[in-house]
Amino acid sequence: MKVVVNVDGGARGNPGPAAIAAVVQDESGAVLTERGERIGPATNNVAEYKALLLGIAQAGEIGASEVELVGDSELIVKQVKGEYKVKDATMRELHAEVKRALAPFESWSIRHVRREQNAEADRLVNEVLDGG
């Protein structure tokens, strides 16, 4: 089964109180599961990586064999694709964790979209940060 996972992470302040979200859809666009949660103080980039990990875990939990990750952080997408180097030590650790989490899938891909095209995940992050 192939799923599309929209992910987003954000922090109020950078660093500051942070939240992550993931929305898992089947190929027709039907939402299979979604989750948003607080992660405590973090930077935006750390939140984006943790959102990826949440989305990957959710895809695994529902038995997906293929996963297409969609995020609005160009930096994180390009780092996971191998187009940009990961220089920060914390980010390197999270990057490695993402790669390990993706290993069991038959195939995976990741692509960057504008925030407007990532509206559901963005909405969930803001709901969590706003105390919703």
Q: Look up residue 115 and give its DSSP letter.
A: G
Q: Assess if residue 21 is contained within a domain.
A: yes
- pLDDT one-digit tens code per residue, 44-68: 999 999 999 999 999 999 999 999 9
Instruction: Inform me whether the pLDDT recorded for 124 exceeds 80.
Output: yes
Give the count of domains, the chain. 1
pLDDT at 132: 65
Residues 67-72 have a mean pLDDT of 98
pLDDT digits (tens, 9 = 90+) for 104-122: 999 999 999 999 999 999 9
In a domain, 66, yes or no: yes
CA–CA separation, 83 and 90 (whole Å): 18
Q: What is the CATH number of the domain that holds 122?
A: 3.30.420.10
Domain that holds residue 95: 2-127
pLDDT at 100 over 90: yes
| Contact by Cβ (8 Å): 52, 76 | yes
Q: Tell whether 80 is covered by a domain.
A: yes
> E strands along the chain, which residues?
2-11, 16-26, 31-42, 66-71, 107-112
- Angle value at C-alpha 71, between 132 and 12, nearest 5 degrees: 40
| Mean pLDDT, rounded, of the chain | 97
Whether residue 132 lies inside any domain: the answer is no
Alpha carbon 4 to its chain's center: 11
- Is beta strand 31-42 parallel, antiparallel or unpaired with respect to 16-26? antiparallel
